[in-house]
Amino acid sequence: MLSFSEALWKEAEGTGVLVSCLCPGPTASKFRERAGTGNTRLSRVGTPMPSAEVAQQGYDGWRANQRVVITGARNAILASLVPFLPRRVVLGLVKSMQSPA
């Protein structure tokens, strides 16, 4: 989704069409409960950001035509490390964080 959104952002450059990809960290909502993902390592680390705050940051980023909006300081720091890690390591970390605790 990220690569697709970035490609759309570039394609729309200079047209007045705004494109932004929202990459939220853990968010307080009923989604995890309904999706059955409330018992993952990721869901147990830190305090989830309120959904209204995530939505506001996403909206503000979109209005500013910000290519990627990453919510939460910890999430932004972790995302900044991804380009420096082998893809295999990143996939293993994501699997570990998204697996049941």
pTM: 0.79
Predicted confidence at residue 18, as pLDDT, reads: 97
Block means of pLDDT (10 residues each) for the chain, length 101 residues?
A: 96 96 87 72 75 96 97 88 93 83 65
* Domain residue ranges in the chain: 22-98
Predicted confidence at residue 37, as pLDDT, reads: 66
Predicted confidence at residue 42, as pLDDT, reads: 67
Predicted confidence at residue 38, as pLDDT, reads: 66
DSSP string, the chain: -HHHHHHHHHHHTTTT----EEE--SEESSHHHHHT-TTBHHHHSSPPEEHHHHHHHHHHHHHTT-SEEE-SHHHHHHHHHGGGS-HHHHHHHHHHHHSB-
